[in-house]
Each structure stands twice: as C-alpha cells, then as structure tokens.
Amino acid sequence: MKGTLCDLKREEIEENWSAVCDLVRKPKYVCRKCARSAKNKDHLCKPKRIAPAGG
Ligand SMILES: [Zn+2]
C-alpha cells in the first residue's frame, strides 16, 4: 500500500481494508498530528513511538 494512513481517503481505506487492518493490528507508532496508529512509522505523517504502559 502506498502513502500513509493519514493520507488515505475513505474509499481508499475500504479498497485496502485488509492491508489497513494489518498495519494497525499491533501498533508501535502514533501520529502526533492525526492520532492514528500503525506498526510501521512509514505509514504515519508525524510518527512517534508509543510510550510504554505507565510511562
Ligand atoms: Zn498523520
């Protein structure tokens, strides 16, 4: 899938549904701008590593 989750349009989310689900299943990063999450920082526009629980 090309681009970031942040850039996806509603129709593109539907078209790439299984890929989108794979990207958000075990997130390691959150977008600082959009609050989206993904396991790979390449799929967010302003990625930041998720803080450990309690941190
Ligand atoms: Zn973003």
Read off φ and ψ for residue 4, nearest 5 degrees: -100, 160
Instruction: Output the tens digit of pLDDT for each of the chain's 55 residues.
Output: 778 999 999 999 999 999 999 999 999 999 999 999 999 999 999 999 999 888 6
Q: Specify the pLDDT at position 41.
A: 96
For the chain, the domains span 5-49
Q: How far is CA 54 from CA 23, 24, 51, in A?
A: 24, 21, 8
Cα(39) to ligand 1 centroid in Å equals: 13
Cα(54) to ligand 1 centroid in Å equals: 24
Q: Indicate the pTM of the whole model.
A: 0.84
Q: Specify the pLDDT at position 28.
A: 96
